[in-house]
Chains A and B, each alone.
Chain A
Amino acid sequence: MTPSPDKGTRDAPVPTVKTLRTELEKGLRAHRSGARPASVMEMSDSDGDGRLVMNFGPQHPATHGTLRSIFTLEGETIVEADVEIGFLHTGFEKLGENMTYQQWVTVSDRMNYLSALNNNVGYSVAVEELLGIEVPPRCKSLRVIMCELSRIADHILCVGLQGMDLGAFSIMLWAFEKRELIYDIFEAICGARLTTSWTRVGGIMRDVPEFFPDLVYSFLDEFPPLLTEIHTMLLNNRIFVDRVKDIGIVSEDQARSWGISGPIARASGLDVDVRRDHPYLGYENYDFKIPVQTEGDSFARYMQRMEEIEQSLEIIRQAMATLPSGPVVHDDFKTSLPTKDAVHNDMESLIHHFKLVMLGHGIKPEPGACIYSATEAPCGELGFFIASDGSDTAYRLRVRPPSLYNYAIFPRLVEGGMISDAVAVLSSFHVIAGELDR
């Protein structure tokens, strides 16, 4: 039972929609027959041809999350590789059909849990585009600042885990130490460290506290020395450089054909960035570079992420310097929640709040409207395809996860290499299982 990514179409009849519906009606006790599901069957050893089929994951320190790889080995060389995902599938898209637009923000940050704010902002931008509303300038700048902080958090963690997987455990501890600074900022604006749920449709949860500039500026002072430290530690380290250079090369054509986006694509020379190509939230007003590498190997991905962190710091500086004052919520209260202050004191705001929160009322986009809206998450292009049927819940909420399309090429890259190269490639890919499986 040697799996292979390019085997021909299965011989077993693929069940059609009709046959499965009848089976569902008959009940499901039959499927619990005691046979273990195929996904956890033992992949043990060879069928005599000297090749070992080895299972790698889904519970393994070096798989970033619940990813399972099945390698067919000849010695230490990987001859065939297959991956299996879905160990964290949660049904976000089905939840989107049952939760209102406002409610789904809370689950959106459980997707890419390392940079939850990017998910929040991406979803809110998508719904706002569906409705055709625009948020006030202060809200845009604040969202940009928090997105970039979240991007820094994600990238620095990726670099830390990349170091840890290759043996440099200190890098991970330093990365977490500096991430705590970012967590402090998140906690100051919304009360939660990780799963922030900060944005709302038409604005954000609340305005930032008065000491917010102090927090951000002290972060901007304390963070950059870490980058120099990491570069010093890793670039002069022969072991690290040898283990990532020329490993897992993704060419630009491959990146284009496989739908790869984000740092992986830019490290391969494919110059795509949603912030520049389809700007949102006023990104066209900030002056920042989009770094692009050419080699496409794991080392280029490491350098790409470090350079992107520096560019994010630059964006934060510019956004803080030009932060306008004003309201943070779109002023059409048919779509955006009024502030709590107004709700407690003003009858109209109370009525608007009621109508937006109660099921059956709420935000009702145009029936039949469909939108595809993308933002630049740290992993790549996070897209939302939302179709509306005129009710207060989405009809179809499709999340286009960057990690899914980035990860599809992984089996090709590791074939012909060694197991330790597979670890190096996987950690440089930075696949987040929550987003991959949704």
Chain B
Amino acid sequence: MGLESLIGGEGFLTTTVNSIVNWGRKNALWPMPFGTACCAIEMMATFSGRYDISRFGAEVVRFSPRQADLLIVSGRISLKMMPVLQKIYRQMPEPKWVISMGACASCGGVFDTYTLIQGVDQFMPVDVYVPGCPPRPESLLDALFEIQKLVGQERLDSGKHGS
């Protein structure tokens, strides 16, 4: 990212720019819903009227990974779907964060079978896990707050999200 390369070293200017950029990023996360199963329905309920996620800025749901920065993996991921998930993850530009929503995405959940990935974090990095089967919309909103905290602690020159 061009912005990070211009910033160097510590200083008052750096920390202020850090906090402004982080504030902007965390209050305008664009989720990419990778919804497969039951958790996807609860995710849709979170995006809908009663548990409105757009109160917290994450309103612009982008189905194209190139335009999103928060991947919400909701639902069970099977053998056939894992390469697709990895491909989508690779297509997202930096900076990006991942919420693994539900028991199946976090650890395989109820299904310890031959065809389900027992936790997507074996094969891609995950930032926040949401337990539940399916998690209530409030839990997903809580995960969003955790992501916002993570984003708020980021430093532009950490090199974590590319140069």
The distance in angstroms between the C-alpha atoms of A37 and B37, with both chains bound, is 22
In the complex, the answer to whether A434 meets B38 with C-beta atoms within 8 Å is: yes
In the complex, the answer to whether B42 meets A58 with C-beta atoms within 8 Å is: no
In the complex, the answer to whether A86 meets B38 with C-beta atoms within 8 Å is: no
* Chain B residue at minimum C-beta to C-beta distance from A112: B38
In the complex, the answer to whether B78 meets A89 with C-beta atoms within 8 Å is: yes
Our pick among A110, A193, A437 for the contact of B110 (Cβ within 8 Å) is: A110
User: Contacting chain B: which of A4-12, A59-67, A125-133?
Assistant: A59-67
Residues of A within 8 A of B136 (CB): 193
In the complex, the answer to whether A95 meets B48 with C-beta atoms within 8 Å is: no
Q: Does A281 contact B (CB under 8 A)?
A: no
In the complex, the answer to whether A66 meets B81 with C-beta atoms within 8 Å is: yes
In the complex, the answer to whether A88 meets B81 with C-beta atoms within 8 Å is: yes
Q: Does A106 contact B (CB under 8 A)?
A: yes
359-406 of chain A: CB within 8 A of chain B: none
Interchain nearest-CB distance for A414 vs B (Å): 21
In the complex, the answer to whether B133 meets A87 with C-beta atoms within 8 Å is: no
* Chain A residue at minimum C-beta to C-beta distance from B112: A95
The distance in angstroms between the C-alpha atoms of A434 and B115, with both chains bound, is 14
Q: Does B122 contact A (CB under 8 A)?
A: no
Q: Does A303 contact B (CB under 8 A)?
A: no
* Chain B residue at minimum C-beta to C-beta distance from A66: B36
Interchain nearest-CB distance for A3 vs B (Å): 16
Q: Does B63 contact A (CB under 8 A)?
A: yes
In the complex, the answer to whether B42 meets A434 with C-beta atoms within 8 Å is: no
Given contacts A65-B36, A91-B111, A177-B50, contact A59 B41 (CB under 8 A): no
Given contacts A87-B81, A110-B37, A173-B49, contact A94 B114 (CB under 8 A): yes
* Chain B residue at minimum C-beta to C-beta distance from A60: B63
In the complex, the answer to whether B81 meets A91 with C-beta atoms within 8 Å is: no
Residues of A within 8 A of B150 (CB): none
The distance in angstroms between the C-alpha atoms of A25 and B81, with both chains bound, is 26
User: Contacting chain A: which of B16-24, B82-90, B92-100, B123-131?
Assistant: B82-90
Q: Does B28 contact A (CB under 8 A)?
A: no
* Chain B residue at minimum C-beta to C-beta distance from A110: B38
Our pick among B34, B45, B84, B115 for the contact of A89 (Cβ within 8 Å) is: B115
Q: Does B80 contact A (CB under 8 A)?
A: yes
Interchain nearest-CB distance for A165 vs B (Å): 12
In the complex, the answer to whether A193 meets B42 with C-beta atoms within 8 Å is: yes
Q: Does A180 contact B (CB under 8 A)?
A: yes
Q: Does B143 contact A (CB under 8 A)?
A: no
Residues of B within 8 A of A113 (CB): 37-38, 41
In the complex, the answer to whether A194 meets B41 with C-beta atoms within 8 Å is: yes
* Chain B residue at minimum C-beta to C-beta distance from A109: B38
Residues of B within 8 A of A95 (CB): 111, 113
In the complex, the answer to whether B36 meets A433 with C-beta atoms within 8 Å is: yes
51-106 of chain B: CB within 8 A of chain A: 63, 75-76, 78-81, 83-84, 87-88
Given contacts A90-B115, A110-B37, contact A176 B84 (CB under 8 A): no
Q: Does A195 contact B (CB under 8 A)?
A: yes
In the complex, the answer to whether A91 meets B115 with C-beta atoms within 8 Å is: yes
Interface string of A56-86 (1 = CB under 8 A from B): 0011110001100000000000000000001
127-145 of chain B: CB within 8 A of chain A: 133-134, 136
Q: Does A40 contact B (CB under 8 A)?
A: yes
Q: Does A107 contact B (CB under 8 A)?
A: yes
Interchain nearest-CB distance for A44 vs B (Å): 14
Residues of A within 8 A of B84 (CB): 40, 58-59, 87
The distance in angstroms between the C-alpha atoms of A177 and B134, with both chains bound, is 18
In the complex, the answer to whether B83 meets A195 with C-beta atoms within 8 Å is: no
Interchain nearest-CB distance for A168 vs B (Å): 15
The distance in angstroms between the C-alpha atoms of A61 and B136, with both chains bound, is 22
Interface residues of B (CB under 8 A from A): 34, 36-38, 40-42, 44-45, 48-50, 63, 75-76, 78-81, 83-84, 87-88, 110-111, 113-116, 133-134, 136
A–B Cβ pairs within 8 angstroms, 11 of them: A37-B80, A39-B83, A87-B80, A88-B76, A88-B78, A89-B78, A91-B111, A110-B38, A172-B48, A176-B50, A177-B48
The 10 closest A-B pairs by CB, nearest first: A91-B113, A113-B38, A176-B48, A61-B63, A87-B81, A40-B83, A177-B49, A87-B80, A180-B50, A434-B37
Known: A39-B80, A87-B80, A87-B81. 4 other contacts (CB 8 A): A40-B80, A91-B116, A173-B48, A194-B38
